A and B are shown apart, each in its own frame.
Chain A
Amino acid sequence: MGELAAVVGIGQTKYASRRGDVSIAGLVREAAQNALEDADLSFKDIDAVVIGKAPDMFEGIVMPEIYLTDALGANGKPMLRVHTAGSVGGSTALVAASHVQSGTFKRVLTVTFEKQSESNAMWALSTPQPFSVHLNAGAGGYFAPIIREYIRRSNAPSDIGIKVAVKDRLHGARNPLSHLNLPNISHQEVEDSMMLWDPIRFLEACPSSDGACAMIIANKDLVSESPKPPAWILGGAMRSEPTIYAGRDEVNPRAGRDCAKDVYAQAGISDPRRQFDCAEIYVPFSWYEPMWLENLGFADQGEGWRLTLDGATSLDEGGDIPWNCSGGVLSSNPIGASGMIRFAEAARQVRGDADQHQVKDARLALGHAYGGGAQFFSMWVVGANKP
Chain B
Amino acid sequence: MDNKNKEVIDAIEAPIYLKYKFTAGLAPARFLSQLKQGVLTGQRCPKCDNVYVPPRGSCPACGVATEEEVVLGDKATVQSFTIVSIPIPGNPIQPPYIVANLVPDGANISFIHLMSECVNEEVRIGQRVTAIWKPREEWDFAMDNIRYFKPLDEPDVPAELIGHLSVNGTEN
Contact = CB atoms under 8 A, between A and B. Distances in A.
A145 interface: yes
Interface in B95-143: 96, 99-101, 108-109, 111-114, 125, 141-143
A194 interface: yes
B85 A195 contact: yes
B26 interface: no
Contacts of B142: 130
Contacts of B48: 246-247
Given A130-B24, A131-B32, A247 B108 contact: yes
B79 A145 contact: yes
Interface bracket on A: 35 or more
A246 B50 contact: yes
Contacts of A149: 79-80, 125
B85 A130 contact: no
A152 B144 contact: no
Most central of A122, A135, A136, A200 by chain B CB within 10 Å: A135
A138 to B, nearest CB: 8
Given A122-B89, A131-B28, A133-B114, A246 B83 contact: no
Given A130-B22, A242-B60, A246-B109, A137 B86 contact: yes
Most chain B beta-carbon contacts within 10 A, residue among A129, A144, A245: A245
Contact of B143 (A133, A199, A244, A248): A133
A129 B96 CA distance: 24
A145 B143 contact: no
Contact of A244 (B60, B82, B88): B60
A118 interface: yes
Interface string A171-210: 0000000000000000000000011111110000000000
A372 interface: no
Interface string A112-145: 0000001000110000011111111110010011
Interface residues of B, number: 46
A152 to B, nearest CB: 6
A138 B24 CA distance: 24
B59 interface: yes
Interface in B131-172: 141-144, 146, 159, 163
A136 B112 CA distance: 10
Contacts of A274: none
Contact of A145 (B31, B82, B89, B96): B82
B82 A144 contact: yes
A79 interface: no
A135 B114 contact: yes
A244 B81 CA distance: 16
B89 A132 contact: no
Given A130-B32, A195-B83, A196-B86, A145 B144 contact: no
B7 interface: no
B112 A135 contact: yes
Contacts of B16: 60
A24 to B, nearest CB: 12
Contacts of B32: 130-131
Given A123-B89, A246-B48, A247-B50, A133 B112 contact: yes
A43 to B, nearest CB: 27
Contacts of A146: 80
Given A131-B24, A131-B31, A118 B88 contact: no
Contacts of A145: 79-82, 99-101
Contact of A148 (B59, B61, B81, B163): B81
B10 interface: yes
Contacts of A131: 24, 28, 31-32, 54, 143
A253 B84 CA distance: 24
Nearest to B147: A133
B113 A133 contact: yes
Nearest to B140: A130
A152 B81 CA distance: 12
B76 interface: no
Contacts of B159: 152-153
A128 to B, nearest CB: 9
B72 interface: no
A134 B111 CA distance: 12
Contacts of B91: 134-135
24 contacts: A60-B16, A133-B144, A135-B91, A135-B112, A135-B114, A136-B88, A141-B82, A145-B82, A148-B80, A148-B81, A153-B159, A195-B83, A197-B84, A198-B82, A198-B84, A198-B85, A198-B96, A245-B109, A246-B51, A246-B59, A247-B50, A247-B61, A247-B163, A248-B61
Given A137-B82, A145-B81, A246-B52, 13 more contacts: A131-B143, A135-B99, A137-B88, A141-B84, A148-B80, A197-B82, A198-B82, A242-B61, A244-B60, A246-B45, A246-B51, A246-B61, A246-B108
Interface of A: 20, 60, 118, 122-123, 129-138, 141, 144-146, 148-149, 152-153, 194-200, 242, 244-248
- What are the 9 tightest A-B residue pairs by CB atom distance, in nearest-first order? A246-B50, A145-B80, A144-B82, A242-B60, A198-B83, A246-B108, A245-B61, A131-B54, A245-B60
